Amino acid sequence: MPSTSWTARCSHGKHSAHARAVEFVPTADDLDPDAQYILDGTLLPCWSWAGRKELYSGKHKTTGMNVQVACTTHGKLAWISDPVDGSRHDNYCQEESGVLLTMNPKNWIGDKGYIGNNMITPYRKPAGGELLDWQREYNSQVNKIRWMIEQVISHFKNWTIMHTDYRRPLKTFKTTISAVIGLHFYRTA
């Protein structure tokens, strides 16, 4: 696996591998509209930048950028969005990416963060109540499918730069993330 410094140099165009790797990155338009996908978001951490409160994720209690990740129901990575400020909820990031604009959301599976998008999602427990037995069973079945996206995200975050605090200048963060995404798709192609 390439080193963090090599990846950082790649993001500044000092290696032609970056240019070749970007060719392997699918866009939302490249996704098959008839296929079924699983969607989830993940936070890519960076240093705490005092002047950049929009990077702080209350859920993760750290700063970073959020990317949306889609895979097939067989666990093949299909797409990774451009990064969005870490303070944003997965549903906002999904809308910002535009991935469902030309897709049938009923073919997509997500967690409770995507409720209201016509996707297949688990039921949320009603305030002051409990789920019915069939809803609990439904949630269990949805989550048995959703574990696949968790595995895909875990494999993507094997890149050291994706799971440790990004320490380079913040203005290079998005470019570096894009370079690593390109290299990841290149490696798995």
What does the alpha-carbon distance between residue 18 and residue 10 come to, in Å, rounded to a whole number? 5
* Number of other CB atoms surrounding residue 146 within 10 Å: 20
- CA-nearest of 82, 75, 76 to 41 is 82
pLDDT one-digit tens code per residue, 169-186:
777 878 888 888 888 888
Domain borders along the chain are: 4-188
Q: Which amino acid is at 161?
A: I
Q: How many residues does the chain have?
A: 189
pLDDT one-digit tens code per residue, 49-69:
667 777 767 686 777 888 999
In the chain, which residues have pLDDT < 70? 1-23, 48-50, 56, 58, 60, 161-162
